[in-house]
Amino acid sequence: MPRTPILALIALAAVPLGAQNAPAHHAPKPPKTLRLYIFDCGVLKPEDAKSFGFDHVAELKMSVPCFLVAHPKGTMMWDVGVVPDSDVKEDGTPPQGFIQVTRRLKPQLEALGYEPEDIKYLAFSHYHIDHTANANMFASSTWLVEQAERDIMFSDKPAPVRTEKNFSALKDSKTKIIPADADYDVFGDGTVIIKPAQGHTPGHQVLFLKLKKTGPVLVAGDLYHYNEERNTDHVPNFEFNKEQSLASRAKIEEFLKTSGAQLWIEHDYAANAKLKKSPAYYE
C-alpha cells in the first residue's frame, strides 16, 4: 500500500482551516439591463462659497457620491470618495470638520455582493482628492483616463487638490487612454458614454448613461459644484482653465437639450439627497 509522503501531509496541515472552508467568491450575475447604484461617500462642509464665486448659495454642504455602473458586459466604478476606507472611523463618532465621512466604500460594494476585484473598469470625473480617495482599491480594474489627466496626476510639478498616495497604485494599472476630443463608449452599445469636459482639470470628464426606465442621465462630475453656477460665468478659483470650463459647460448644456438627459451635479447636496441610494438602483 503506497504511503502518503510525510512532506505532503505537513503541507496539508499547514493550510489554515479558514482557507480550506472559505467559499470561492463569485461576483453577482450581470444584470440583464444597465443599472446605476449610488453609494454614500460623505459630505463636504465648506465655510462659505467664496472660492466658487458666490457670497451666498441655497445649500453650502456638498454631497460626495460614488457610483457603480452594472452593465450586462461588466462593471465600472465612477468616482471613489474623499477619504480612503482605511481612514474612515465607523465607530459612531459624529464627524467633524470640512470633510465628513461615516461610511466606508468597500462594505457598500460588498453589500451588493461585489469585491473591488470584480470591477472591470475604473473612471473618475477628475483626479481631485474628493473623487479618487479609494482609487488604490481598484488597481486591478482597467483605468479609463485621458492622457492629460494621467499626466497631471503623476507629474513632478505641484497640482491643486491632489493626493498622490491615494491613487499611486494606478501607475501600474492596466490603463486605457481615452480620447480628449471624442466620446468614449465603454461597453460598445451606446448606454455608458464618457464625454470629455475639460477645464476644471486638464482631463475632466462626465458620464452619460442611457437607463431604460429612468431615461438618459448625465453624471456631471465637477462641471458644476453648485446649481447656482449654471448660466453664469462663475467657476472655482482653483480651476485649471476657466475658458475651457465655460466652453465645456456650453457644450454639455447643448447636449442636455438634444439628449433630454437629466443633469446630476454630484456635489449638489439637496439634489443628491433625493436620489435612491444603494442597494436601491436606477435602471
**Residue reference for cell 447636496:** 269
Considering beta carbons, is residue 130 or 228 the nearer one to Zn ion? 130
Stretch that binds Zn ion, among 69-77, 196-204, 206-214, 217-225 (CB under 5 A): 217-225
Residue 140 C-beta: closest distance to Zn ion, Å:
25
Q: Does 239 bind Zn ion (CB under 5 A)?
A: no
Residue 9 C-beta: closest distance to Zn ion, Å:
57
Q: Does 222 bind Zn ion (CB under 5 A)?
A: yes
Q: How many CB atoms lie within 10 A of CB 159?
A: 17
Q: Does 40 bind Zn ion (CB under 5 A)?
A: no
Write the interaction track for Zn ion spanning residues 127-146; mark x where CB under 5 A is met and - where it is not. ---x----------------
Say how many Å lie between the first and final Cα of the chain, rounded.
62
Give, as one character, the DSSP assignment of residue 152.
Answer: H
Considering beta carbons, is residue 49 or 112 the nearer one to Zn ion? 49
Residue 127 C-beta: closest distance to Zn ion, Å:
10
Residue 222 C-beta: closest distance to Zn ion, Å:
4
Q: Which residues contact 267 (CB under 8 A, 6 or more apart)?
A: 44, 62, 63, 64, 222, 224, 225, 226
Nearest-angstrom CA–CA distance, 246 and 257: 17
Q: Does 149 bind Zn ion (CB under 5 A)?
A: no
Q: How distant, in Å, are the alpha carbons of 5, 61, 103, 132 from that of 128?
A: 57, 18, 20, 6
Q: How many CB atoms lie within 10 A of CB 237?
A: 11
Considering beta carbons, is residue 40 or 130 the nearer one to Zn ion? 130
The residues that touch Zn ion, with contacts defined as CB under 5 A, are 130, 222
